[in-house]
Structure formats: structure tokens, C-alpha cells
Amino acid sequence: GQQVMQIPQYQHVQEGEDFTTYCNSSTTLSNIQWYKQRPGGHPVFLIQLVKSGEVKKQKRLTFQFGEAKKNSSLHITATQTTDVGTYFCAGSNTGNQFYFGTGTSLTVIP
């Protein structure tokens, strides 16, 4: 299957600091999705990006799709303890099935 890599694997930040996770694909993607998984929980869909260079915002979260549609990023401004969890990107080159990245586990220190 498709390879989607994410960095970093772990990130510890002080509450109020910013956080960014990066997603890279070996092939051009048609769509990329982002999910959040709280500890002990299941992934929850956050957003989908489909256009080259697309930027979408959800409150303190900013999602970006690269111009070449091979990479994406999620940036959280001024992290809060409620942001704790693992963030996954999931890419598809057909739009039918999505391949998940390895995830970035975010710890927010109060």
C-alpha cells in the first residue's frame, strides 16, 4: 500500500506553545485527511484537503496541503491540555481508501 510518513513521532510542549506535525507521501495524493485520537479512544475525523496549496482553519488548528500534493501539515496555536492525543494524517491517491500516517503523539504540559 501507499506510504505516508509523519514527523515527529512524539512532541511534548508547554501549554500555550505552538505545535506542528508534518505528513509526507511517497506519491501524489488526491486527498488528505486529518484525525485526532485521544488516549484510549478511536480516531475522530477533523478535516479533508483536496486542492493544491489549500489552507483550512478550525479555531486554533491550521491545516495545509502542499503545492505538489505530496505533503501536509497541521499547526496548533497556543496549545491547551485538551489538545492532548495522537494526530494522524491519512492520504489517498484514488479517493477510495486512505492510508494512515504513523501519527504524532502530542503531550501538553500544564
Partner 1 sequence: SQTIHQWPATLVQPVGSPLSLECTVEGTSNPNLYWYRQAAGRGLQLLFYSIGIDQISSEVPQNLSASRPQDRQFILSSKKLLLSDSGFYLCAWSPDPGYGYTFGSGTRLTVV
Give the binding range for partner 1 (CB under 8 A) out of 21-29, 38-46, 54-62, 76-84.
Answer: 38-46
Q: Indicate whether 56 belongs to the interface with partner 1 (CB under 8 A).
A: no
Among 48, 62, 73, 107, binds partner 1 (CB under 8 A): 48
Q: Indicate whether 88 belongs to the interface with partner 1 (CB under 8 A).
A: yes
Cis peptide leading into 43, omega within 30 of 0?
no
The minimum distance between CB 97 and partner 1, in angstroms, equals 5
Q: Indicate whether 52 belongs to the interface with partner 1 (CB under 8 A).
A: no
Q: Indicate whether 39 belongs to the interface with partner 1 (CB under 8 A).
A: no
Distances (CA, A) of 100 to 12, 23, 32, 108: 22, 10, 10, 23
Q: Give strand pairing partners of 56.
A: 63
**Dihedral (CA of 42, 69, 23, 55) sign:** negative
10 CA to centre of own chain: 13
Instruction: Pick between residue 2 and residue 77 the one whose CB is nearest to partner 1.
Output: 2
